[in-house]
Structure 1
Amino acid sequence: MAELVLRTNDLTKAYKGNIALDKVTLSIKRGSIYGFIGQNGAGKSTLIRIVNGLVSPSSGSVELFGANSERELVLARKRIGSIIESPALFPHMTAWENLEVHRIQKGIPGRKCIENTLELVGLQEAGKKKSMHFSVGMKQRLGIAIALLGDPEFLILDEPTTGLDPTGVIKLRELLKRLHSENQTTILISTHILSELHLLATHYGIIHKGKLLEQLTANELHEKCKQYLHIKVNDTSKAATIIDQELHTSNFEVMPDGVIRLYQSVHDPGMVSSILFKAGLTIEQFMPMGEDLESYFANRIQGERYV
């Protein structure tokens, strides 16, 4: 079994009677990009704060790199880089000076890492500019630079695209892909904006109202969200034979209710319906179906509301 970078067991956090986390048990494998999905207030930031040692859990446990005692966790957290919500910056310091403060705090030898990190996030030209004059997007990139100091093995990013324009989002995605492929960095991305996540994540965790609803791999999500043509005709057996012979495919399945799910030619439904019609079949139902990440997430939490 692949080594786990993070494991939580029945992690619970209550604030004055309000449950922010409700017995959350999750695991993140080394080398994965874990998309932590949930609406605002779902409990994502609370869990990240507990992992970083900023908040104590009400009950349950956290394990980092196999460490679970308080002393071991302090050492293990030195292998983490994180940005939680809005980055905390020294406004009257330059980007370079902000990184220098954090370099000293982390005990990282040499200053070469500062120039390298500024270049990595595209702030090499702003190194001497005070952060109080930065745009929201630049502040976010500086926060990511701070998280990247020291080449952490585990990078935790809480809403990292906040304030980034479309170009900045693309650059961040490319940066994370490079860190993942070249450094084998394990990455946890917490977000409620899903449009970019499916281009990055290898694993997903869905949290809603403090409860972890599901963990699944990108391949498992792909299977659940697979696009297909929903076909119901007056003669299912004949339709299956026609699809096999005319479309030269076995990439379909016949459901117990007689509906055929055709996973091929999804983007050419006119051709498929024409073949079935010419074969003398009566088409009773014919429509493209399937979900994307956004609709899957919406349906998943919608179903939870009625449990």
Structure 2
Amino acid sequence: MSEYILKTNKLSKKYKHEFALENINVTIKQGDIYGFIGQNGAGKSTMLRLIIGLTFPTSGSIELFGNDNRNELTGVQKRMGAIIENPALFLNMTARENLEVHRLQKGIPGKECVDKTLELVGLKDTGKKKAKNFSLGMKQRLGLAIALLSDPEFIILDEPTNGLDPMGIVELRELIKKLNREKGLTVLISSHILSELHQLATKFGIIHKGKLLEELTSKELDEKCRQHLRIKVDDPTRGAIVLEQILFTTDFEVMQDGVIKLYSHIDDVRKVSQTLTNNGLVIEHLSQNGDSLESYFSKLVGGVEHD
């Protein structure tokens, strides 16, 4: 099987004279928790609907599980589960009854999967309680159970924490992590809240006004947002030696352009400056850098808007 669960190539969707998505290239590997982030109206839901086959692209292609033949994608999409917008629940039925209806609709043989899935999402002991009396968090977990009923390899969740209280968000997040860790489930989860996805995703795609601005791993995002002193001196090699031998720190990186990123001593800029100068180095630039996740996203989006 291909290591890529999903690849899109210049995927575009146009409504009348306006692009909802334009030339989107996304790659999701097996085992990823992919956080698809953008403001409301950025094109996230359109992208998800294209992937699961609820609408069709204007141009470009979608590859699922190594298959990009449009006529065969319907069969491949059976290996997926999804919650797009609100879960389709029968409010006058119990959790078990809801799953039984969906099992029959999907043609899944045997009833064993119902109890197994209810236990997986923590709803096995809800008994005769009807879905209309569930908390919002329980309804979201029931929706997730419906998406998981066919034991998919890839699951798509559109804004799954909308309206949840902090405890509900934590419970859903931990459940998704558990499914990813124990079952190897690949997850695509959209949200407009970067801080929420940062605690969950292993890879990010940032979308704005129908365009993918950036795709990066959680480690790369952490590095971009990590607070540091940005130092440029006339001799970067000697600068690194001074930091290590005089300031007794190895928590720094020397970049290809010679810039040193120092992650320690952030609150002691004067000491860093004096140490470098006293050891014969000419400081060409010294500043404090790094963003919060929210400000990084705002700068990225703002830079596009002001181009």
Which TM-score tier does this pair reach, normalised by the shorter chain? 0.7 to 0.9
Indicate the SS of the match to 1:219. helix
Contact 1:36 1:204 in 2 (8 A): yes
1:209 matched to which residue of 2?
Answer: 209
Contact 1:140 1:162 in 2 (8 A): no
CA distance in 2, matches of 1:28, 1:162: 24
Cα 1:159–1:248, aligned 2, differ >3 Å: closer, same or farther?
same
1:116 matched to which residue of 2?
Answer: 116
2:246 matched to which residue of 1?
Answer: 246
Write the deviation string for residues 106-150 of structure 1: whole angstroms up to 9, x where unpaired: 222222222222222222233422222223222222111111112
Indicate the SS of the match to 1:163. coil
CA distance in 1, matches of 2:67, 2:255: 47
Q: 1:15-26 counterparts in 2 under 5 A? A: 15-26=15-26
Cα 1:211–1:259, aligned 2, differ >3 Å: closer, same or farther?
closer
Q: Is 1:40 aligned to residue 45 of structure 2?
A: no
2:156 matched to which residue of 1?
Answer: 156
Contact 2:2 2:65 in 1 (8 A): no
1:303 matched to which residue of 2?
Answer: 303
1:223 matched to which residue of 2?
Answer: 223
Cα 1:280–1:185, aligned 2, differ >3 Å: closer, same or farther?
closer
Cα 1:256–1:169, aligned 2, differ >3 Å: closer, same or farther?
closer
Q: By how many angstroms is 1:2 displaced?
A: 6.1
1:64 matched to which residue of 2?
Answer: 64
CA distance in 2, matches of 1:168, 1:28: 27
Which AA in structure 2 matches 1:166?
Answer: P
Q: Is 1:173 aligned to residue 202 of structure 2?
A: no
Answer with 242-251 or 174-183: which moved more: 242-251
CA distance in 2, matches of 1:142, 1:60: 34
Cα 1:303–1:279, aligned 2, differ >3 Å: closer, same or farther?
closer
CA distance in 1, matches of 2:236, 2:33: 42
Write the deviation string for residues 37-82 of structure 1: whole angstroms up to 9, x where unpaired: 1111111101111111111222222111122223421111110011
CA distance in 1, matches of 2:46, 2:238: 56
Indicate the SS of the match to 1:126. coil
In structure 2, stretches of 5+ residues that fail to align are none
Q: By how many angstroms is 1:227 displaced?
A: 2.1
Indicate the SS of the match to 1:196. helix
Q: By how many angstroms is 1:35 displaced?
A: 0.8
Q: By how many angstroms is 1:29 displaced?
A: 1.0
Contact 1:4 1:27 in 2 (8 A): yes
In structure 1, stretches of 5+ residues that fail to align are none
Q: By how many angstroms is 1:222 displaced?
A: 2.6
Contact 1:239 1:276 in 2 (8 A): no
Indicate the SS of the match to 1:40. coil
Answer with 163-172 or 78-87: which moved more: 163-172
Which AA in structure 2 matches 1:303?
Answer: G
Cα 1:141–1:257, aligned 2, differ >3 Å: closer, same or farther?
closer
Count of aligned pairs between the two proteins: 304
CA distance in 2, matches of 1:257, 1:33: 32
Q: TM-score, normalised by structure 2?
A: 0.86
Write the deviation string for residues 240-276 of structure 1: whole angstroms up to 9, x where unpaired: 665332222344367899975312344xx24x64475
Which AA in structure 2 matches 1:11?
Answer: L
RMSD: 3.1
Write the deviation string for residues 203-248 of structure 1: whole angstroms up to 9, x where unpaired: 1111110111111122222332232134689x99997665332222
Contact 1:252 1:261 in 2 (8 A): yes
Q: 1:254-265 counterparts in 2 under 5 A? A: 261-265=261-265
CA distance in 1, matches of 2:185, 2:96: 24
1:134 matched to which residue of 2?
Answer: 134
Cα 1:222–1:278, aligned 2, differ >3 Å: closer, same or farther?
closer
Which AA in structure 1 matches 2:69?
Answer: S
